[in-house]
Amino acid sequence: MSLKQFYDNHIFDDSLKQKTLFNPYYVNVQSGLDDALMIDGKEFINLAANNYLGLANDERLKKAAINAIQKYGQSLCATPIASGCADLFESLSQKISNFVGLESSVFYPSCYQANNGLFQAIAGKDDVIIIDRFSHSSLVEGARTVGCKLRPFLHNNMASLEKNLQHSSKHKQIFVVTESVFSTEGSIAPFAGIVELCKRYDAVPVIDDSHGLGVIGKRGRGIIEHAGIVNYEGIYTASLGKAMANQGGVVCGKKSLIDYLKYNSSHLIYSTAITPSILAGIQAVIEIIESEFDVIGKRMWYYRNKLRDALIEFGFDVKHAEAPITSILTGSSEETILFAKHLYQKGILATPFIYPSVPENQGVIRMIVGANLKEPTLDKAIEILKTLKPI
């Protein structure tokens, strides 16, 4: 193949952009996540970020990160196994483990790497991975790369899960993989039941709590608290770039497994370690959640309910959600992008999900109201949405 043919084979298909004259992706944000978001010199109401608790631009978090930069610099320029581990790495590991209710933790540069690196290290060809069919791409791709038997089960469907477990006994290891909060629609996995089924069938549960950590549970400690699980014996992963308002991913579980990953997970071992300023930022966020979740969490839910109720009243097809996520069904990819365009033109940034992120013709616009927004800002967004005719 010639170089020209190679490059011709790798051209982004922008037909949707041509049809809708709009590209909602890779927008140039020119500010932090304040009440208003600046894009191309214009103020926007940000309903797109996963900044559930509104902490991304919090002064305490910024101060913690700046102090860490003053002490450690911007990077330790090494992988964690070499000399990339600031002392914060270990102390924060203990802090986040206590926070979510598990023994030990290790930080990856992203949750995508955490989910991929986890399966690469613990699963093999003779195993079976039973996975919720709506699971995030990082879990699916991580599972696929193992090359073992893959058994998707119907979304949050315990009967479908159990049927798959019943036919998995011949495999060496059985993993049951799911997310806590499914971010496109806001459904929550029946995780206590899943853990019970895993015990019955000798399976290892793996939960990705990216949209649950800092969001669900009475004290914001995520799915394990939310589901009331005591002595969880499975594996837990989460992104630290959503409610935790930083970056990176974490894998938590039994100390013996975390120690194993530290020496066997190539995605961790061969990636430059997460920076000290990020670790300090995560520590600050945990402290804020520990002391203020009562107040911030209430505001997050109040905003979410206010937006959801208004959209239902205006006639939008709002997906049922148990998490503080509001998604409107918008149909085809073209209809979904066009709706996002209307919102954008009126100063609202929301997240469109189109095929293949969602099934064909089941596009959605997702909105998350960060607790940092002022109520009049949300009211303004609601007024704008009122003027947009439901598709």
Partner 1 sequence: MNLEEKIINLIKENSNCKSEIYRHSNIIDDLNIDSFDRLMIVNAIEDEYSIEVNTSDIEKFKTVNDIVIAIESRYL
CB of 208 to partner 1, least distance (A): 16
Phi, psi torsion values for 366, nearest 5 degrees: -100, 140
62 vs 163, beta carbon nearer partner 1: 163
Stretch that binds partner 1, among 15-23, 64-72, 156-164, 216-224 (CB under 8 A): 156-164
Q: How far is CA 139 from CA 52, 113, 120, 209, 306, in A?
A: 22, 10, 11, 12, 33
Pairwise CA distance, residues 219 & 318, whole Å:
27
- Residue 160 within binding range of partner 1, rule CB under 8 A: yes
- Residues 101-140 close enough to bind partner 1 by CB under 8 A: 133, 140
CB of 338 to partner 1, least distance (A): 21
Nearest C-alpha neighbor of 280 from the set 237, 249, 252, 246? 246
133 vs 341, beta carbon nearer partner 1: 133
Pairwise CA distance, residues 244 & 327, whole Å:
21
Stretch that binds partner 1, among 9-17, 49-57, 152-160, 309-317 (CB under 8 A): 152-160
Q: Where are the beta strands (DSSP E) in 92-233?
A: 104-108, 128-132, 149-153, 174-179, 181-182, 187-188, 204-208
- Residue 153 within binding range of partner 1, rule CB under 8 A: yes
Nearest C-alpha neighbor of 253 from the set 70, 18, 82, 93? 93
Q: How far is CA 235 from CA 185, 232, 359, in A?
A: 24, 8, 28
- How many residues in the chain? 391
- Residue 158 within binding range of partner 1, rule CB under 8 A: no
Q: Which amino acid is at 315?
A: G
- Residues 25-84 close enough to bind partner 1 by CB under 8 A: none
91 vs 145, beta carbon nearer partner 1: 145
Pairwise CA distance, residues 43 & 60, whole Å:
25
- Residue 152 within binding range of partner 1, rule CB under 8 A: yes
CB of 156 to partner 1, least distance (A): 13
- Residue 162 within binding range of partner 1, rule CB under 8 A: no
Pairwise CA distance, residues 107 & 92, whole Å:
9
74 CB-near residues (< 8 Å, 6+ apart): 275, 277
DSSP code at position 275: P
151 vs 308, beta carbon nearer partner 1: 151
- Residue 163 within binding range of partner 1, rule CB under 8 A: yes
152 vs 190, beta carbon nearer partner 1: 152
- Residue 151 within binding range of partner 1, rule CB under 8 A: yes
167 vs 200, beta carbon nearer partner 1: 167
- Residue 154 within binding range of partner 1, rule CB under 8 A: yes
The angle, 0 to 180 degrees and rounded to 10, between the axes of the packed helices 255-264 and 111-122 is 90
- Residue 150 within binding range of partner 1, rule CB under 8 A: yes
- Residues 342-371 close enough to bind partner 1 by CB under 8 A: 356, 359-361
29 vs 154, beta carbon nearer partner 1: 154
CB of 151 to partner 1, least distance (A): 5
Q: Which residues bind partner 1 (CB under 8 A)?
A: 133, 140, 150-154, 160, 163-164, 167, 356, 359-361
